[in-house]
Amino acid sequence: MSVIEAFDLKKSYGSLQAVKGISFDVKSGEIFSMLGPNGAGKTTTIEILEGLRTKDSGQVSVLGLDPWKNGYELHKRIGVIPQGFRFFDKATPKEAIKYYADLFGVQTNAEQILREVILQDAENNYFENLSGGQKQKVGLALSLVNNPELLFLDEPTTGLDPQARRAVWQVIKNLKKAGRAILLTTHYLEEAEQLADRVAIMDHGLIIAIGSPYDIEQRYGSQERIKVVGPKELADYIRTHSNFKVTYDDATAQIEVGIQNKNDALTTFKLIEQSGLDWRDLSTERDSLEDIFIRLVGSLDEEGSAVSVQNKVGN
Ligand SMILES: Nc1ncnc2c1ncn2[C@@H]1O[C@H](COP(=O)(O)OP(=O)(O)OP(=O)(O)O)[C@@H](O)[C@H]1O
Ligand SMILES: [Mg+2]
């Protein structure tokens, strides 16, 4: 069953086409991640699905509802953390939860929510004194107040240090275990790889690849490679005794053998052994989601977030 369905969704701001006709669905209980560089159209898409922005054309359905027409009903059933979430400086996480519960007109167990987002230790600290990771956890806590079946998390870990990011990942994993579906946007490939059942890579308003990280790696990644360090004669030996693509790097003595399947791997191992030549550091390697992303979209900044090539050259 799908909790979100989007078909040929389009949205422009004046002459800028921010979303150019995207289609995807999010299944009940899954984590679906939209991955893409700045300006790709992630927030625009997510806010249309939340009923906060109008679409120009296409069809969207969230929990079976039209988010724009049935916003009131929808907001009772979804949880949202907007991009760059902040709260009143002088409120504690516990007060924030109570405030939100009043706003929604729901009864809530603040203690349980604080436990769910692993924030009990800071429940009485002012928001302004919380660490970046704890602030994001307050956002997660508030998104849970109405016990939603679907969560929208727009860049929940941007700007966090690696440790805090992992702490938030743990909370997100727990939320999934508790059966909630999550639509998550991120710049971080590792985050999508760690958390998402399926990923949509967006760039310039289009989805350019969609599927599980494994599917995307299979579909867009280059073939698996066996790497081994040895003399050039070893590369020649494997090349003459197989039809594999074999390359040799003189500087590092690195041999790379392109393989298709397990049999090819076994054949390569046998040839290495048969050659009687010296070898070391045998490993297999395939493209990661990051390698593929860079090839499809652009490059990464020092922090490992996506930077569009076009943005980089100033377009
Ligand atoms: N309200 C608006 N008015 C005009 N242009 C907008 C508006 N909101 C977004 N845009 C533009 O639409 C494009 C897509 O923006 P959007 O915020 O959806 O991207 P994003 O993928 O969320 O980017 P980021 O990773 O930086 O959050 C950008 O070029 C942005 O400048
Ligand atoms: Mg955004």
**Which ligand minimizes its atom distance to the CA of 205?**
1
Question: How much is the pLDDT for 163?
Answer: 85
Nearest CA to ligand 1 atom 16: 41
Q: How far apart are CA 315 and CA 299, in angstroms?
A: 15
pLDDT attached to residue 74: 95
Please say if the pLDDT value at position 312 is more than 50: no
* CB of 205 closer than 6 angstroms to any ligand 1 atom: no
Low-confidence winner among 29-38, 138-147, 156-165 (lowest mean pLDDT): 156-165
315 versus 283: which is more confidently predicted?
283
End-to-end CA distance of the chain: 40
Instruction: Report, as an integer, the average pLDDT of 257-272.
Output: 93
- Protein residue closest via CA to atom 1 of ligand 1: 13
Angle value at C-alpha 306, between 177 and 137, nearest 5 degrees: 35
Minimal CA–CA distance to 104: which of 126, 127, 82, 73? 73
Q: What is residue 299's predicted lDDT score, i.e. its pLDDT?
A: 61
Average pLDDT over residues 272-285: 94
Nearest ligand, CA of residue 311?
Answer: 1
Among all bound ligands, the one having the nearest atom to the CA of 45 is: 1
Q: Which residue's CA lies nearest to atom 8 of ligand 1?
A: 44
Distance 226 CA to ligand 2 centre (A): 39
- Does 302 have pLDDT greater than 60? no
Using one digit for the tens of pLDDT, what is the confidence trace for 82-127? 888 899 999 999 999 999 999 888 999 999 999 988 888 899 999 9
- Which whole number is the average pLDDT over 303-309? 55
Ligand 1 binding pocket mutation candidate from 11, 13, 189 (most atoms within 8 A of CB): 13
pLDDT number for residue 314: 34
Mean of pLDDT values over 18-35: 97
| Tens-digit pLDDT profile for residues 121-144 | 899 999 999 988 899 999 999 999
pLDDT of residue 292: 86
Is pLDDT above 50 for 207?
yes
Kindly state if the Cβ of 82 falls inside 6 Å of ligand 1: no
**Confidence tier at 311 by pLDDT (50, 70, 90):** very low
Say which residue, 304 or 250, is predicted with more confidence: 250
Ligand 1 neighbour 43 (Cβ under 6 A): yes
131 touches 138 (CB < 8 A): no
Is there an atom of ligand 1 within 6 Å of 39 CB?
A: yes
| Domains with residue ranges and CATH for the chain | 2-77+148-219 (3.40.50.300), 223-285 (3.30.70.100)
Q: Exposed e or buried b for every residue in 224-260, given b needs 16+ CB within 10 A?
A: bbbebbbeeebbebbbeebebebebeeeebebbbebe
Q: Given CA atoms 276, 282, 286, 291 in this order, what sign does their dihedral have? A: negative
For residue 148, list its beta bridge partners: none
Ligand 1 atom at minimal distance to the Cα of residue 45: 18
Min mean pLDDT across 81-90, 169-178, 290-299 is at 290-299
Look over the chain and give the mean of its residue pLDDT values, rounded to a whole number: 90
Nearest ligand, CA 187: 1
**Using a 6 Å cutoff on CB, does residue 114 contact ligand 1?**
no
Beta carbons within 10 angstroms of residue 64's beta carbon: 12
**Ligand 1 nearest atom to the CA of residue 187, by list position:** 25
pTM: 0.81
For residue 102, the one-letter residue type is: D
Centre of ligand 1 from the C-alpha of residue 43, in Å: 7
Query: pLDDT grade, residue 313 (50/70/90)?
Result: very low
Would you say residue 176 has pLDDT above 50?
A: yes
How much is the pLDDT for 291? 83
